[in-house]
Each structure stands twice: as C-alpha cells, then as structure tokens.
Amino acid sequence: MEYKLEELSPVERKVVIDVAADEVNASLGATIALYRKDAKMDGFRQGKVPASVIEGRFRKQIYAEATQDLVNLHINEVMNELKLTPVSGINFDGGEIVRDQPFQYTVTFEVMPVVDLPDYTGFKARQEQVEVKDEEVQAVFDRIRNNLAETVPVETPRTAQDGDIAVVSFAAYEDGRLLDGVQADNFELVLGEGQSLEEFEEIVKTLQPTEKTSKEITFPKDFLNPEFAGRTVLMEVELHRLKNKVLPPLDDDLAKKAGGFPSLEKMREAITSSYSDSRTQLHKSVAQKKLLDQIMAGVEFPLPESMVVDQQQRMLKDLEARMDRQGKSLESLGKTHEELLETYRKDAEELIRVQIFLLAVADREGLEVSEQELDQFFMHQAAQSGENYNQLKRFYIENNLIFMVRDRLRADKAMELIYAKSEVELVSAAELAAEGAEKGEAGAEEGDKPVKKPAKKAAAKSDAEQAAPEEAATKEAATKEDAPKKAAPKKAAADEKTAAPKKAVAKKAAPKKKAE
C-alpha cells in the first residue's frame, strides 16, 4: 500500500491510497476463509466447502466486507503514521475491489487547525465576591414550608381567591361538541400561581363551592397543545370545594422534619453554605469568560465545518427537547429546519473556537484525563439525570463518545489551569455594577463580553444555584405535593434556562462503511 497526502485547506486533508493486486487478493482470501469456516452447504462438510464455491455463493457480501476491511486497515495505518486525528467522519471514494486488479481510492476528512497560542499566563481577572442575602435564605425557608404545608377545608362560604386550592371539574365545548383533552374531574388547582390560563382562573374565582358556570375563553396562540391554539371554546366549570394551606412554623421541628437538622440555625447554615458554594462557582465562571476573551483577542484560526455543524445540531436538539417539555414542537416556530440551524451558527462557531483553543492549551500542557476522573464524570451525570451509572457509561462507550467526554474534561482542565495562572482579584458586586455604569453598557469594553465555552459552566451553575440550597436543606425529607391526574388549561411557559450544549470536540469517527 502506498499513499499520498494532500492538504486541501488548513483543516481539510485528502489521502490517495494505491493498493497492489496481490494485497487485494489477500483481503479477498481472508474474507472468504471466514465465510468458509462456518458455511453449511449440501454435499460438503462444514468448513470444507471449496473457496471458489464460497466466493460464488456469497460474492456480494464477501467483496463488500473485504473492501471495508482493507480500507479500515489502511486508514488506521495512515493515521498512525501521519499522526492525524480526524474530527469529522471520513469520506470514502473508490468503489469496490476487483480480484487480480490494483485498487485506488481516496479519503477526505477534517482535522484540528494549528493554533498559534499566545501567552495565557499572568492575566488579571476580577471575580465577584459571594454575598448571600437574608431574603434569599428566607425564600428557601418559604418554599420548604410550602412543601410541608397541610391542607384544610375552607369552612366560611365565599368565592374562590388567590392562594386557595380549588377542587374543580371542567370541560370545553366547541359548537356544542365536547373537546377531548380539555376536561377533568376533581382537579386541584392552586389559584394565583400561574398554573393555568388567567382567563380560566378568573372563571373559577367567580364561584363559591357547589356552584357552576360557563364562559367563552380563547386559547392563546402559544397554548401547550397546538391543536387548540387560538381557538375559542365554551368552558364549563364547577367548583366543588376550597382548601387552604396551613404552613408549619419556622422552628427546630421544621428543620428536623425537612432535612434531619438538629436545629433551625443548622438548617440556615446549610442553606447559606449551599448558596455560597454554587454562587462561588458561578462567579468564577463569569470571571473565566472575561479572562478567556481577553486572552483570545486577536487569535484567529479556521474552524472545521463538521464541528460547527455538529454543534448546531446539538443546540437545535436541546431547543427541541425544551419545547417538547412545554408541549410545543419546532414547527410552531414557523421556520424550516435549515433556518433554525442557521440561527445557531454564530453561537456554534464561538463555542467551537473556544473549545479548540482550550484543547490546544491542554495539548501544550500535557493535560490528560484519568479513568477515575471519567468515572466521577459519569457518576455525576447519572446522579443529575437519574440514569443508571453503568448504562450511561456503556452508552458512551458503545457509541464511541468517550473521546468527547475526555476532550470536554481536558478543556475544563485547561480553563482551570489558565485561571490558576492569572491574578484573581475579588471585588464586590456593587463595584462591578459601578464599573458597568461608567462604561455605559456592562461588558461593552473589549475583553468584557462573555465567551461561549465558559457560558456552559456558568449557565449550569446558575440553574444549580437555585436548586442547591433547597436540596441541601431538605435532603430527602421535603415532600412534593401529589400531582393531579389531569392538568388544567395551562399557559405556555417561557423558555427555561438551560446550560449551553455539551462541547463539540474532536470526533474520531471511523470510516464509513461501503454499505452506507
């Protein structure tokens, strides 16, 4: 086998491979031998069928597999000799081998660009000091008390009002026809918390227990169920009874019940500590974004198109998942798949640019990821998602995604190393706000606008920051109210905040099979 490497661009490579006829025949012979070993044919003992008969009987499969095996062997040899790591799928062009004839084919793929790294040590970074306000801790206490509240019936005859738990039955009619999917019996609805359409709650609040009424309402255009969006229906509602929540007192008994704390003060300390830890990580990520933007200013290199497109696809899948949780579909956005992808183009390019830069730093610094660190990553992911650890890790292994995790962790290590080698100054939130006001627009000055890679970490911490204090306080004991069997007509929620998509890193894809 002989080959010739061509550089199509700084990130594109083409390899032309020539194979002699005797190597072609050897590949065919090896594949035929495998088929011959297990072949069962009338008139022959197993394993004794002549090679010519096997070749004639299974010709199509044999030639396809022999070609694929030969190409895979050569590509691995070439990549090892040239020390190249494709970040895209390997495109094969060459047809199929023919017995007694030489074989020529080409493969094209993308590689990581060469990054001319600037000095990334000794930069100054400003990290916001952590402040946990009393009202934030109190808000966690309030949520815990609400979760542990008991419900009691409202004895005094009156109309429903915000804060009540209204037990209602409802049904929607259009042209006298009952609409399936917009009806429920004995549904418990907490009024005033935005759990359902405002128009629906207003109907409920005109009623006293045992009363019923009907009124037309129009579903909003972004209604959870697109089938009813924009339609006007007659809503019949009956209020069966009203209940109120009785909040438990904020005392040591609550602390013990909520999370097994010996006292209310210990519970307060746990909430404050959890807030402080999560907020410290958030502020650190924000500072890292600004620091990295300063370092990368003026650093230019081409981006592999396959990495950008792959990142766009993942970002769009994240959007689809968020909308699905809201009962919506991508089609409701009124854009084609291509148009939606294009909206993520700039962000995807920025993410990939930062990832490539950090991986270049990791290469220079010799940063690697141990098996123990991989296990810790999967344990954390499994704990967050509720998935089985072994199944999650096996999925990544079987789908050749482990390298993505390694590169993700290597990039994180590179960011931590850069930050550790910078001069970090802790400043108050008021000081940072004053600086932003002086500039006229916070972040407008060069080096202050966010960079997308650390945004992944920052966004994730922002979500965790809200949940962590309550989780720390309640542990496993904080109970959740039983969800009703059917939902009242709900308004569409605003797009929830999510962490930026996982990093798109070097994809060491195997060459495509001929059959593909």
Alpha-carbon distances, residue 163 vs 31, 33, 189, 197, 201 (angstroms): 74, 78, 10, 15, 12
Residues 319-341 as b or e (16 or more Cβ within 10 Å = b): beeebeebbbebebeeeeeeebb
| Pick from 206-210, 233-237, 319-323: least confident | 319-323
- The Cα 516–Cα 511 span in angstroms is 10
Q: Are 115 and 301 in contact (CB under 8 A)?
A: yes
Q: Degrees (nearest 5) of the Cα angle 239, 244, 246? A: 165
Residue 397, pLDDT score: 86
Report the range of poorest mean pLDDT among 103-112, 236-245, 322-331, 413-422. 322-331
Give the right CATH number for 150-246 from 3.10.50.40, 3.20.20.390, 3.40.50.2300, 3.50.30.30. Answer: 3.10.50.40
Question: Checking phi first, is residue 255 left (phi over 0); if not, alpha (psi -120 to 50) or beta?
Answer: alpha
Domain boundary assignment for the chain: 2-110, 124-138+253-474, 150-246
| pLDDT, tens only, 459-488 | 334 444 555 565 555 543 333 333 333 445
Report DSSP state, residue 352. Answer: H
287 three-state secondary structure: helix
Separation CA 232–CA 219 (nearest Å): 6
Percentage of the residues of the chain whose pLDDT score is greater than 90? 65
The answer on pLDDT for 13 being more than 70 is yes
196 pLDDT higher than 70? yes
Q: How far is 295 from 139, CA to CA, in rounded Å?
A: 39
Q: In the structure, what pLDDT confidence band is assigned to residue 492 with cuts at 50, 70 and 90?
A: very low
Residue 511 has pLDDT above 60, yes or no: no
Confidence of residue 437 (pLDDT cuts 50, 70, 90): confident
Q: What is the share, in percent, of the chain residues with pLDDT greater than 70?
A: 85
2-110 and 150-246 have identical folds: no
pLDDT on residue 494: 37
Nearest to 461 by CA among 412, 392, 396: 412
* C-alpha pair distances (Å), 490 with each of 219, 220, 236: 9, 10, 16
φ/ψ of 416, rounded to 5, equals -65, -40
pLDDT given at position 36: 86
Compute the C-alpha angle 157/160/162, nearest 5°: 135
CA atoms of 249 and 144, how far apart (whole Å): 11
446 pLDDT above the threshold of 70: no
Q: What is the DSSP letter of 511?
A: B
- 488 DSSP assignment: -
Residue 465 CA from chain centroid, whole number: 18
**pLDDT at res. 468:** 56
Tell me the C-alpha distance between 88 and 352, whole Å.
13
Its pTM stands at 0.68
Q: Per-residue pLDDT tens for 95-112?
A: 999 999 999 999 999 999
What's the pLDDT score for residue 117? 95
Instruction: Tell me what pLDDT residue 516 has.
Output: 33
Q: Which of 182-191, 253-262, 501-510 has the lowest mean pLDDT?
A: 501-510
SS3 326: coil
The bridge status of strand 150-153 relative to strand 232-246 is antiparallel
Give Cβ neighbours of residue 273 (< 8 Å, ≥ 6 apart): 472
Instruction: State the average pLDDT for the chain.
Output: 84
Instruction: State phi, psi for 49 to the nearest 5 degrees.
Output: -70, 130
- Segment 435-447 shows an average pLDDT of 58
Taking 90 as the threshold, does the pLDDT of residue 39 lie above it?
no
Q: What is the pLDDT of residues 122-155, one digit of tens each?
A: 999 999 999 999 999 999 999 999 889 999 999 9
Q: 449: closest CA among 320, 282, 277, 297? A: 297
pLDDT at 508: 32
What pLDDT is attached to residue 329?
Answer: 80
pLDDT digits (tens, 9 = 90+) for 52-95: 888 898 999 999 999 999 999 999 999 999 998 898 889 999 99
**pLDDT value at position 510?**
35
Tell me whether strands 423-427 and 124-128 are parallel, antiparallel or unpaired.
parallel
C-alpha pair distances (Å), 67 with each of 25, 53, 61, 100, 512 = 11, 20, 10, 14, 12
The residues that bridge with 166 in the sheet, in sequence order, are 189, 242
| Ranges assigned E (strand) in 411-462 | 423-427
Reported as a pLDDT band with limits 50, 70 and 90, residue 221 is: confident
Model confidence over 324-338: pLDDT tens digits?
877 778 887 888 999
Query: At residue 367, does pLDDT exceed 80?
Result: yes
What CATH architecture applies to the domain 2-110? 2-Layer Sandwich (3.30)
What pLDDT does 489 receive? 54
